[in-house]
Amino acid sequence: MGIKVACIGAGTVGSSWAALFAWRGCRVVVYDPFPEALRKAEENIARTVTTLSEIFLDGKAGVDEVLRRVTYTESLEEALSGTQYVQESAVEKLEVKRSLFEEMDNIADPETVLATSTSGLSITEIQKAAKKHPERCITAHPYNPPHLIPLVEVVPGELTSKRCIDRTVEFMDWLGKKPIVVKKDVPGMVANRLAAALWREAVNLVYQGIATPEEIDIAVKYGPGIRWAITGVYLTYHLGGGAGGMKYFLEFFKDHYKRLWSDLACWSEYPDNSFEAILKSMEDYKVIKRMAYDELTKWRDEQLAKILKLLIEGG
Ligand SMILES: NC(=O)c1ccc[n+]([C@@H]2O[C@H](COP(=O)([O-])OP(=O)(O)OC[C@H]3O[C@@H](n4cnc5c(N)ncnc54)[C@H](O)[C@@H]3O)[C@@H](O)[C@H]2O)c1
């Protein structure tokens, strides 16, 4: 495609996006008002492109050629000049995003999509600051790190146009991402809501002394987690209903879920002393005792890459 993309904000997420855009052939301009952030981003992007090359092409891809597609600037005007798509990943503060969107809306071509990576702010609130063309503002929320995890949650605000949604989804598809369009601007979108529901019960299980963190991770990793990676939640349960599919599953397990749901945690904040209970039981987590943080994250990324390859091959 070779289109020009701007990454606004060059921290953890902005650098990861920039590496992915360049890897896929885009010309990328990285903007940050802080020179030190740009310097670190340059290092991170070089490391990330090297990782992508090792994972997907056994290190044979021309890393230097990819990196030549990335430029760095402290000027927002320069970043937005001739840009067709903007991915904003600045600090998670509403006033910063609003002021950036107001400025970007004044500078960028009206056809340019202005997407934000925000995890927790409302796009409807952000886009109100883009008074000229609020219809081209949208959330494109990645799962960290964007260069590896395919999911992108595309969330339109109240003023976002259908054309902007379509163009964002089309671009994400082209990048090789897996976009979903979230129909309402709700906290946590889809993935973080699901993760938060699971996390509440994981905390509850430790708090009540039913299982340790390590046992809970074994239960997820070697149980439902494997199936979730292949068939998600709905398809898993549809298959659980046998030949009768979801209809059979819903009817047959109705009472089972009634009993279970009435026993699950439903609190909306951590219960008293739960932090102490969690931290105490984490002390016995074997792999954490055995490996340092850097070693653990390296191992995690290598395993992640293997799963990703399988998912890509499986379609
Ligand atoms: N970290 C995650 O796991 C994650 C996942 C998904 C989405 N996000 C979202 O991505 C965004 C960035 O998160 P992060 O973790 O990369 O943060 P970060 O703190 O690593 O990076 C933020 C960057 O914004 C820059 N910045 C500060 N003021 C700015 C301005 N006025 N204009 C442009 N840049 C500015 C900072 O210099 C810094 O480089 C947030 O909106 C966050 O919600 C984060």
Quick one: which atom of ligand 1 is closest to the CA of 15? 16
Which residue type sits at 235? L
- Rounded to the nearest 5 percent, the helix, strand and coil shares of the chain are 55, 10, 30
Co-location of 115 and 175 in the same domain = yes
**Tokens encoding 259:** 């009993």
Last residue of a domain, one of 181, 215, 248: 181
**Per-residue pLDDT at 1 exceeds 60:** no
Flag whether 260 is in a domain.
yes
What number is the average pLDDT over the span 268-284? 95
- Quote the pTM value: 0.94
Question: What are the tens digits of pLDDT across the range 4-28?
Answer: 999 999 999 999 999 999 999 999 9
Ligand 1, residues 38, 44, 91: which to mutate, most atoms within 8 A of Cβ? 91
CA distance 91 to 170: 26
What CATH number does the domain containing 153 carry?
A: 3.40.50.720
Co-location of 174 and 198 in the same domain = no
CB 166 within 8 A of CB 131: no
Co-location of 55 and 16 in the same domain = yes
Last residue of a domain, one of 146, 181, 216: 181
Per-residue burial over 135-148, b if 16 or more Cβ lie within 10 Å, else e, is bbbbbbbbbebbbb
- Ligand 1 centroid from CA 38, angstroms: 13
- Number of CB atoms found within 10 A of residue 207's CB: 20
Flag whether 240 is in a domain.
yes
Q: In which domain, by residue range, is 248 found? A: 191-284
Report whether residue 34 contacts ligand 1, using a CB cutoff of 6 Å.
Answer: yes
Question: What are the tens digits of pLDDT across the range 122-157?
Answer: 999 999 999 999 999 999 999 999 999 999 999 999
Flag whether 101 is in a domain.
yes
Ligand 1, residues 8, 12, 75: which to mutate, most atoms within 8 A of Cβ? 12
What CATH number does the domain containing 208 carry?
A: 1.10.1040.10
Report whether residue 37 contacts ligand 1, using a CB cutoff of 6 Å.
Answer: yes
- Ligand 1 centroid from CA 136, angstroms: 21
- Ligand 1 centroid from CA 12, angstroms: 7
Question: What are the tens digits of pLDDT across the range 55-100?
Answer: 887 766 689 999 999 999 999 999 999 999 999 999 999 999 999 9
149 contacts: CB under 8 Å, gap ≥ 6: 142, 143, 304
CB 142 within 8 A of CB 152: yes
Residue nearest to atom 5 of ligand 1 (CA): 144
Quick one: which atom of ligand 1 is closest to the CA of 10? 39
Structural domains in the chain (count)? 2
Report whether residue 13 contacts ligand 1, using a CB cutoff of 6 Å.
Answer: yes
What is the reported pLDDT for 294?
86
Report whether residue 91 contacts ligand 1, using a CB cutoff of 6 Å.
Answer: yes
CA distance 100 to 14: 15
- Ligand 1 centroid from CA 84, angstroms: 21
Flag whether 74 is in a domain.
yes
Co-location of 158 and 229 in the same domain = no
- Ligand 1 centroid from CA 118, angstroms: 8
Co-location of 102 and 146 in the same domain = yes
Report whether residue 146 contacts ligand 1, using a CB cutoff of 6 Å.
Answer: no
Ligand 1, residues 45, 73, 89, 93: which to mutate, most atoms within 8 A of Cβ? 89
Co-location of 33 and 177 in the same domain = yes
User: What is the CA 115 to chain-centroid distance, rounded?
Assistant: 14
Co-location of 173 and 195 in the same domain = no
Report whether residue 118 contacts ligand 1, using a CB cutoff of 6 Å.
Answer: yes
Question: What are the tens digits of pLDDT across the range 143-197?
Answer: 999 999 999 999 999 999 999 999 999 999 999 999 999 999 999 999 999 999 9
Co-location of 23 and 82 in the same domain = yes
Residues facing residue 138 across a β-bridge: 115, 156
Co-location of 254 and 176 in the same domain = no
Co-location of 153 and 227 in the same domain = no
